[in-house]
Structure 1
C-alpha cells in the first residue's frame, strides 16, 4: 500500500484523511458536521436527516479520494454503538456510497486516539511515555491512561451533542454533567492513580480543545491551522476566558470562529473540558489535533488492517 484513506464517523462529524504509508505523512483531508447523534437521546435512533448528511459527506469524500480504487478503512464509534437501528443505517450507507464501516468498541477507539496522539507528540519532540488523555466526542468521552507501555481506558456516555441538546446554558450543563458523569469518572481516575501513579502529561484531543486553542490564537473556522494547534498548552483559565469571550459574541460572529452548527456544541464542550481539569487535577494540557481518524490511518499501514 502506498496511500490509504482513513474515515472516522463520529457522533458529530465525518472525517476522512489520506495517509502515505511510505513517508508517514498525511495528505488531503475532508471533514463535515453530520450530527449522527442528533436527538438520539430522545429516540435511541439515528434519524433520517443524520443518515442523509452522512451519505452526502461520504460522497464528497469519494469524489476527493476515489474510494473505489483507494484502500480505505472506515470506522464508526459511539452513536453507532448505541443506536437501535445502526445495522439498518450502515447497510443503507453502504448501499448508497459503497463505504462499509466497522463499528469499533470503546477500547479500540481509545487505541486509535492514543496511537495518533503519541505519534504527534513524538514528532513534536515531546514525551509520549506517561500520558493521561481525554477524547471528548459528540456522544461519548474517553479517558485514557498510558504508562510503561500499558493502556488503561474507559468510555463515559456523555458528549457535546447529547449534552447540548439537553441543556440550555453553562450552569445547567455543569449540573447535568456533574450528576451524570463525575462520580464514575472520579472512581475510575482515583483507582488508577492510587494503583499506577499519576501520569506526567495531560493531553486533550478532538474538536472542543482544538477549537478553544484556535480561538485563543485568533483563528476562524476557515483559517484553522493544525500546525499551530499541535503542542499548544491550554490551561483551565484559558478555557474560562474562551467561554466568556465566545458567549459575549453575537451568533453570526461566533459562527465564524466555531463553524456553522457548532455554536451550542462548543459551549457544552468547554464546560465539559473545564470539569475534566477539576476531576483529573492538572493545571494545563497539551492539545493535539490528531485523533481517531489519524490513528486509524497509522494502524492501517502498520498492521495491514482491512
Structure 2
C-alpha cells in the first residue's frame, strides 16, 4: 500500500496518546496505537505541562512511528484541552517539533466536537445503526464534551472537567461527587436550552472510561482489548455500579492488568462522570464506541482531499 492510500492521524489528549492509520479508499482503520501518557499530570497545580510528561509524549511518538511505520512530520496531529490550558503550550509544541519533527495543532472545543461527531457518524454507518438522532458523550482527561445531533442540526458543549483534572483537584471522592452535583445543574440547564426531547435520542459514549467499562463487561483485559468487540457494546447504569464495586475490591496490580497502566487512578472519577451524565440525560443505557477524535481527524482529511 502506498503512503498516498492512507493517512496517519494523531490525537494527543490530556491522558491518552492515540494514533490511527486510516485507509481512505476503503474507509477503514488499518492499524492503531494507544498509550496513556498522562500529559495533564500536575497541570491543575502548575498550569504547565511537565518535562516528564513531555518526555513520555516524545517516547510515545517514537514508539508509534516505528510500530505503525509512519514519519511523524507526515501525520495530521491535533491536541486538545490540556494543551489549551497549559501556559507553556508553545514551548512544549516547539520541543515536540525539535525532538520528533511532529507538528501538533491545538484545536478548540468546537472543532474537537465537529471531528468527534464525524467519526461517530461514520461508526454508526459502519455498524448499521440508526444515525438521525443521537447524543455523544466524550469523557476526556481535561474536559468532557456533549454533542447533540438531530438530523444534521448540532448542539455541542464542552464542560471544563475531565478524569485527570477532577482526580488531581480533590483529595476525596466525596469532594468530587459534590463538584459533579454542581456541574450536573449546569449540564441539565444546557440540555434544557437545546429544547430537544432527549428521550428519543440514542446515547453514544466514547473515550477511555466508556471503552474500559465495555471491555470489563465483555471480560476483556488490557491485553485482550479488541476495538471491534467493544464497538457497539451497550452499557447501562448497573454495569457502571458493577465496575465501581469491582474496582473497590481488587488490588491495584490486578486492576492494572485489567485496564492498563495509567487508567486505574482515574477510573473511579471517570465512572462518576459517566453516572452524572446518565442522570443528567435521563438515559438508562449507552452504546460505546472506540472511535473518536483521531478517526475524525483522519476522515476529515480524506474528505478534504
**TM-superposed deviation, 1:60:** 1.1
Determine whether 1:88 maps to 2:86. Answer: no
Name the residue aligned to 2:270.
Answer: 269
**Superposition pairs of residues 239-258 of structure 1, within 5 angstroms:** 239-258=240-259
Alignment gaps of 5+ in structure 2: none
Map Cα deviations across residues 190-222 of structure 1 (whole Å, 9 max, x no partner).
111x2x332520100000000001011111011
Deviations 1:95-129 (A, max 9, x none): 10000011111011111111111111111111111
Match of 1:5 among 1, 8, 11: 8
Distance in 1 between residues matched to 2:169 and 2:244, nearest whole Å: 19
Measure the CA separation in 1 of the matches of 2:70 and 2:129: 35
**Runs of at least 5 residues in structure 1 that lack an aligned partner in the other structure:** none
Shift of 1:84: 0.5
Structure-1 residue corresponding to 2:59:
56
SS of the residue aligned with 2:169? coil
Counterpart in the other structure of 1:106 = 109
The answer as to whether partners of 2:211 and 2:290 remain within 8 angstroms in 1 is: yes
Residue 123 (structure 2) pairs with residue 120 (structure 1): yes
1:169: how far off?
A: 4.8
Matched with 2:151 is 148
Name the stretch that deviates more: 270-279 or 70-79.
70-79
Preserved contact between residue 73 and residue 102 of structure 2 (Cα < 8 Å): no
Check if 1:204 corresponds to 2:189.
no
Paired residue for 1:282? 283
Moved over 3 A (4+): 65-71, 167-172
1:64 Cα deviation (Å)?
Answer: 2.7
Q: Which residue of 2 aligns with 1:183?
A: 185
> Could you give the per-residue CA deviations for residues 221-244 of structure 1, whole angstroms, max 9, x where no partner exists?
111011111111111111011111
Alignment match, 2:304: 303
**Secondary structure, counterpart of 1:95 in structure 2:** helix
Deviation at 1:172, TM superposition (A): 3.2
Kindly provide the CA deviation profile for residues 43-73 of structure 1, in whole angstroms up to 9, marking residues without a partner as x: 1111111111111111112223444388421
**Separation (CA, whole Å) in 2 of partners of 1:249 and 1:126:** 36
- Separation (CA, whole Å) in 2 of partners of 1:216 and 1:253: 16
3-state SS of the aligned residue for 1:139? coil
Partners of 2:210 and 2:288 within 8 A in 1: yes
Greater displacement, 276-285 / 254-263: 254-263
CA RMSD of aligned residues (A): 1.4
Distance 1:90-1:114 versus aligned 2 partners, 3 A rule: same
Shift in Å, 1:91: 0.6
Task: Decide whether aligned partners of structure 1 residues 258 and 169 sit closer, same or farther in structure 2, where only a CA change above 3 A counts.
Answer: farther
8 Å CA contact 1:3, 1:70 repeated in 2: no
CA 1:169–1:257 in structure 2 vs 1: closer, same or farther (change >3 Å)?
farther
Report the Cα distance in structure 1 between the residues aligned to 2:103 and 2:224, rounded to whole angstroms: 32
Greater CA deviation, 153-162 or 64-73? Answer: 64-73
1:135 aligned partner: 138
Question: What per-residue deviation string (whole Å, max 9, x for no partner) do you get for residues 230-284 of structure 1?
Answer: 1111111110111111211111111111111211111110111001100111111
Aligned residues: 301
- Quick one: distance in 2 between partners of 1:259 and 1:126? 30
2:135–2:146 contact (8 Å) kept in structure 1: yes
Equivalence for 1:230: 231
The SS at the match of 1:36 is coil
Q: Match for residue 292 of structure 2?
A: 291
Counterpart Cα distance in 1 of 2:293 and 2:14: 13
Return the alpha-carbon distance in structure 2 between the equivalents of residues 168 and 224 of structure 1: 31
